[in-house]
Chains A and B, each alone.
Chain A
């Protein structure tokens, strides 16, 4: 990412990452699972003095992180977070990653073992247009939030807002905050009223229950 006077790294941040950024307390320690090109960690470091690491597996993304000066550790999330001790980060962030790993249930528990809080985002598979594509047209949904065809998508464990909340209840995970948005990451009154039907992107902040 280029830097020059007046350059605003945030302008290149996806809007869901802007929301997440607001949730992170200044000076905290963060682990970003599947950190992509490092834009979130870079912004957090620049604006909130956040320290931490991004975990990433894609070589191009890793090079982008290094270019940005973001600490990135090449690793395969399917192998878990064994190299990190319990409660060593204030936040463990997982944006658009949960649905792409082999063991989302296990990884979610790992997130809350390593981090005091977890921040998780995923595409809501129960969005009404997805339901129409699957239920009426009989096809796997393709949308702006789910842009890939079934045979080329990285998403292997898609879930719905309802599914995720059920898992949290079953695993004694306490949801502290949630935001459900449309594909452009905008909130609206109808979505708040019917999140599982009208929402396309779900963002949760959670921690282990008592």
Chain B
């Protein structure tokens, strides 16, 4: 709980909800008759309406990117370190928009909302959406707010993939594209991790084929396992060694399967707290959106061809110890952009924090973003 709101915080914020009454046709062929997107904004849209930044969240993120919902909040939004007055994304200069993606579980239309056709929760009937669908729904939000062009679209990890898709699908709707700790598509290893996470959820007896809401249960063990596995891939070996090493909870081995190493306790805590704030059906769908993302697949010439019509100026950032989306994945994007003769800068930030580094404080990362944003 913040005793007082820090001066460089956007302060107490409240989400808004945009309703879209026109049906949205999804890449999978299904249609949602109407949908809601919950979103937050910070700062003020200027008279020319050209100072808007769109933030795209990652797998387990949401619309609450900065500030506090109440004085009782334990933590601020997920990118509070970088969004606020005087921070990298300075809310005195920019108007920041951050939605919860379609299919999310924090207030946008998703599996845990009511299907108007049946009067019940969508649950497993929620259509399988793609990154392209997210971007087209975000475009509708953009139009409803009255923004003609984003000054920049920004995102890390799965958020960075949305940034790429934005630049490809709506070339003239963004001036800058900040693609952070992302990849042009998942590797077999990435998909493998996602599949294990999904199987953990699907095989939980309390999953009930996705209809667990009607049974008043949640597939707690499955979702917890999925998160524990995911969390390992977000950290680096070095970061885990530094944080936990082989330290024991009780100081000695107990020769049973209770929590003994501190890393076990940490992962169980991460898993169980995730269950409290996330929906298993959304997790299944989001990992699928990750697996399916491959903008190059729609173009014969591959990624360079896919990016050849983009107009945004790109900043691509990777982190040295990120092995989920390693620096070489970012340089694939950079190579495609230089092959397509697009404007791009690339920075590999030294960090021992693994994939999570894009969310964490880092002085060089901050310098790089500050330097780049001076020209946005």
Contacts and interface: CB of A to CB of B under 8 A. Distances in A.
A63 B345 contact: no
A74 B335 CA distance: 12
B16 interface: no
Contact of B347 (A62, A70, A84): A62
Nearest to A65: B345
A85 B339 contact: yes
A16 interface: no
A74 B344 contact: no
Interface string A42-67: 00000000010100000100111111
B161 to A, nearest CB: 21
A176 to B, nearest CB: 25
Contacts of A65: 345
A135 interface: no
B291 interface: no
Interface string B303-329: 000000000010100000000000000
Contacts of B367: 59, 63
A29 interface: yes
A63 B371 contact: yes
B341 interface: yes
B368 interface: yes
Q: How large is the interface on B (under 10, 10 to 19, 20 to 34, 35 or more residues)?
A: 20 to 34
A53 B371 contact: no
A67 B374 contact: yes
Given A59-B364, A73-B346, A74-B346, A67 B371 contact: yes
A83 B375 CA distance: 27
Contacts of A53: 338, 344
A99 interface: no
A141 to B, nearest CB: 34
Contacts of A85: 339
Contact of B345 (A51, A66, A83, A88): A66
B372 interface: yes
A138 B335 CA distance: 47
Contacts of A64: 371
B372 A73 contact: no
Interface string A85-97: 1001000000000
B43 to A, nearest CB: 22
B372 A71 contact: no
A66 B368 contact: yes
Interface in B335-351: 335, 338-339, 341, 343-348
Interface in B346-376: 346-348, 364, 367-368, 371-372, 374-375
Nearest to A67: B371
A59 to B, nearest CB: 6
B140 interface: no
B331 interface: yes
Contacts of B368: 62-63, 66
A73 B344 contact: yes
19 contacts: A59-B364, A62-B368, A63-B368, A64-B371, A66-B315, A66-B347, A66-B371, A66-B374, A67-B374, A71-B313, A71-B345, A73-B334, A73-B338, A73-B346, A74-B346, A75-B346, A83-B331, A84-B338, A88-B339
Given A66-B368, A70-B345, 14 more contacts: A53-B344, A63-B367, A63-B371, A65-B345, A66-B372, A66-B374, A66-B375, A71-B344, A71-B345, A73-B334, A73-B338, A83-B338, A84-B338, A88-B339
Interface of B: 313, 315, 331, 334-335, 338-339, 341, 343-348, 364, 367-368, 371-372, 374-375
